[in-house]
Amino acid sequence: MRTTTLFSLGAVACLMAVLLPSCEERTGTHQEAPALDSNEVSTSGTLSLEGEIISVPSPTQMAILLEKAKIPFDAALLNPLQNKSVYVSELRKAMALGVYGADLSYAGIYESGQLNSDYLNVIGELASALQIIDHVDPKLFRSLNNSVGNRDSLLQLSATFYRAGDSYLEESRRPDLAALMLLGGWSEALYISIKAGKGNADVRARVGEQKDAAASIERLVAKISDPSLKPVQNQLATLAEAFSGLRSVYTYQKPINDNKQKITYLRGKTTVEVTDQQLASLDEAVTNLRNLIIR
């Protein structure tokens, strides 16, 4: 079975739909949740990687949330293209590939034209350095370059491109690189969301929902044994600690039973409260983490 890691921009259309807060959970005794392989994303937006079960909204979903809130695009929030030259090791390249992928999602949602093309070219260079590009159909990358002005095509083809990369990392047994791509994409999307959407209630709520993901990603990255990664691991632990102080609130709503289909719709909702002070702490922690990743 071909599997994928969550960073992949393959979290676009289907995951955007199921991860929205308004979605209801459906249960039934005659239905079983699909089994997850060792490195897999299910259609519910759940990732199993190296024994960690993680649910993370895609960078694309976070960008759409900003666009829907009518928050203007801010190119200054992107990782500068010239930073690509400082990523020498495979670990740095993997994190950068995640970061630039999140940046492409953000720019792509706002249909940024030439900027999309520039970021796509850097992604191609990093993917080539990690030997991912060698395992992708050359026609796919050409199609990506030809789709920079078409938002839907760009995001769909990006998903296919990253799935191919995920497949290569799986086959070459490099879960460390997959985990760092996940870290790069998740942290960049979080950074952009906090910086751009600080005053928006919906964005703040979605940031709060990253509490469990932060803890899971911290444990995942902590498994990588490389001295050069220690500052990133320590700062990621600081970010996870900042998230741990958020309070989760469950609001009960009576379930709906469909006796004919033997299905129960669970309608309760869990929200995470984020105070101004806590948001400021998250902002500082993710900014410090991002600086360690991109510089």
3-state secondary structure of 198: coil
Q: Could you tell me the CA-to-CA distances from 139 to 108, 162, 186 in Å, in that order?
A: 20, 14, 28
Q: Look at the block and give the residue holding tokens 């490099």.
A: 174
**Model confidence over 218-271: pLDDT tens digits?**
998 999 999 999 999 999 999 999 999 998 887 787 888 888 777 887 777 778
**pLDDT the model gives residue 151:** 73
**pLDDT the model gives residue 97:** 93
**4 has pLDDT over 90:** no
Query: Can you read off the two tokens belonging to residue 147?
Result: 């789709």
Q: What are phi and psi of 234, to 5 degrees?
A: -65, -45
pLDDT band per the 50, 70, 90 thresholds, residue 71: very high
Once rounded to an integer, what is the mean pLDDT over residues 120-138?
A: 83
- Residue ranges per domain, the chain? 9-294
**Model confidence over 137-186: pLDDT tens digits?**
667 666 666 666 677 766 666 666 666 665 666 667 788 888 898 899 99
**pLDDT the model gives residue 170:** 62
**Model confidence over 97-116: pLDDT tens digits?**
999 999 998 998 887 778 88
Long-range contacts of 201-205 (CB under 8 A, 24+ apart): 202/65, 202/68, 202/69, 203/65, 203/66, 203/69, 203/71, 204/274, 204/279, 205/21, 205/271, 205/272, 205/274
Instruction: Report the run of H or E that residue 291 belongs to, with start and end.
Output: helix 276-294
Shortest CA distance to 106 belongs to which of 78, 70, 69, 140? 78
* Beta strands 263-266 and 46-49, pairing class: unpaired
Q: Put residue 45 in one of left, alpha, beta given phi > 0 → left and psi -120 to 50 → alpha.
A: left
The answer to whether 105 and 63 have CB atoms below 8 angstroms apart is yes
Shortest CA distance to 22 belongs to which of 274, 272, 271? 271
For the ranges 117-126, 144-153, 200-209, 226-235, the lowest mean pLDDT is seen at 144-153
CA 247 to chain centre: 23
